[in-house]
Amino acid sequence: MTQQDFGRVAVLFGGTSAEREVSLVSGQAVLSALQQAGVNAEAFDPATRNISEIKAYDRAFIVLHGRGGEDGTMQGALELLGVPYTGSGVLASALGMDKTRTKQLWLGCGLPTPPYARLNANTHFAQVVADLGLPLMVKPAREGSSIGMRKVETLEDLQPAYAFAAQYDSEIIAEKWVTGKEYTIVLLGEKALPVIRLQPHQSHGFYDFDAKYKANDTQYLCPCGLSVEDEQALQTLALQAFDKVGAKGWGRIDAMRDEQGNFWLLEVNTVPGMTDHSLVPMAARAAGLSFQQLVLSILSQTA
């Protein structure tokens, strides 16, 4: 497709989720790249405009992170309005946004993901620790960008971590901590791009919001340090995990490798970040794609 073939493109970013500020940065980067490529692209913030106005556009590039944009609701609205859009459809978006259901699906398909427990105000926290051990990762099931997440190292820390996460969502999970190295695998079309190893500074404890978007001491290793065979195995696992959720177009799978060499799937991101700290542009560069080529490739999948 030529740039003219795309017609009038709405770049959807901003929104009303807890990830609004990240989305504003991601969306502006995508918008600028499309405009510089000669695409007739315009900003569209659903927080300030009526979604029915999207009918004036030929297609939509979704760069909305979190609920209201990444969870299937915007995808459903666009389908009702007859506007083609980037990325995954309604069901895959909704599943991918819900860490609990994603894990249930992966477990049902025989894919490796760390054991977990669902938490609520009446949970017997000592039993959770007895079942899963320590440390634990407590996280809202339907937030991204590590918002609301805490590492729990003692039983006494579990209830406060739950209360902290519950500020962001009513669905909370505690996940068995995997000691090892963290990786991310970017999917573009039918391919997995070069794997990136994430190495936050020890002061962060894990790859949290600050390590993702603010810190300058987080290391991103690509080549990731895995052998060719192990990297291919991880890419294949990521493609399987992405496919089982029903995701398509582009996205990201986060995974761990434990000290015994086993890979564990953490979560899927169906609208990953596109900021200057983000992993999708980084993996694309490693694959020989400029940021402009990356966004054009994603947009072309709406045809």
Q: What is the CATH number of the domain that holds 239?
A: 3.30.470.20
Q: 231 pLDDT exceeds 90?
A: yes
The answer as to whether 230 is a domain residue is yes
- Please list the active-site residues: 19, 145, 213, 252, 254, 267, 269, 273
Q: Is residue 91 part of a domain?
A: no
Three-state secondary-structure class, residue 96? helix
**Residue 82, domain CATH:** 3.40.50.20
For the residues 13-42, what does the mean pLDDT come to? Answer: 94
| Tokens 């459809």 found at | 89
153 lies in the same domain as 190: no
pLDDT of 159 strictly over 70: yes
Instruction: State pLDDT tens for residues 96-142.
Output: 999 999 999 999 999 999 999 999 999 999 999 999 999 999 999 98
202 occurs within a structural domain: yes
Token representation of residue 40: 């007739």
State which residues form the domain around 262. Answer: 96-112+178-300
What is the domain count for the chain?
3
Residue 200 in domain: yes
User: Would you say 113 and 267 are in contact if contact means Cβ atoms under 8 Å apart?
Assistant: no
Task: Report residue 216's pLDDT band, with 50, 70 and 90 as the boundaries.
Answer: low
Q: Are residue 162 and residue 205 in the same domain, yes or no?
A: no
4 DSSP assignment: G
Mean pLDDT of the chain: 92
Q: Are residues 241 and 222 in the same domain?
A: yes
| Residue labelled with tokens 């000691």 | 179
Out of 159, 176, 193, pick the residue that ends a domain.
Answer: 176
pLDDT at 245 over 70: yes
Whether 282 and 201 map to the same domain: the answer is: yes
Burial of 228 (0-12, 13-18, 19+ CB in 10 A): exposed
Going by the DSSP 8-state scheme, the letter that residue 54 receives in this structure is G
| Strand duo 219-221 + 196-199: pairing | antiparallel
Residues 183 and 258 in one domain: yes
Question: Per DSSP, what are the bridge partners of residue 267?
Answer: 254
| Bridge partners of residue 23, in order along the sequence | none
Q: Is the domain of 162 the same as that of 268?
A: no
| pLDDT band, residue 276 (cuts 50/70/90) | confident
Q: Is the pLDDT of residue 256 over 90?
A: yes
Both structure tokens of 114? 């760390």
Identify whether residues 184 and 243 lie together within a single domain: yes
Residue 213: pLDDT band (50, 70, 90) is low
Please indicate, yes or no, whether residues 231 and 123 belong to a single structural domain of this protein.
no
